[in-house]
Amino acid sequence: MVNLTNVKPRAGYKLHLEYDDGTIGEVDVSDLIGSGVFAALADATVFEAVSVGKHGEVRWTDDLEICADAMYLQLTGKPVEELFPNLKVHADA
C-alpha cells in the first residue's frame, strides 16, 4: 500500500502527486471539471485549494475529494491487483 504525501495544483487542471514509494508525476483531471460534484473545480480558487486529506485522499473540501489510490493507478498504469495483491476477482459463472 502506498500513501499520498503531497499534492499541488498545476495549470490545465493537472495535479502534481507525490507518494511515499517515490512515485512522482502529474495526472490530468480536466475531464472531471464541470461535471456533477466536480463542477466547483472550474473555479480556479477552489481547484488550487487541493490538499492531502486526513485519510490520505486528494481533497478540496469536505464534500469534494478523489481517492489517492485511483490517482496512483492512473499515474503509474499499474493494475489494481498490483496495488492490492489480496484483492480477489470473482468471475460470473
pLDDT tens for 29-86 read 999 998 898 999 999 999 999 999 999 999 999 899 999 999 999 999 988 887 787 7
pTM as predicted: 0.86
Q: Tell me the C-alpha distance between 67 and 28, whole Å.
A: 14
Structural domains in the chain, sorted by start = 4-83 (3.30.2020.10)
Cα 18 to Cα 4, 13, 35, 39, 50: the distances in Å are 6, 17, 26, 25, 13
Q: What is the rounded average pLDDT of the residues 6-12?
A: 97
Q: Tell me the C-alpha distance between 18 and 16, whole Å.
A: 7
Q: How many CB atoms lie within 10 A of CB 4?
A: 22
The answer to whether the beta carbons of residues 71 and 4 sit under 8 Å apart is yes
Q: What is the pLDDT of residue 92?
A: 59
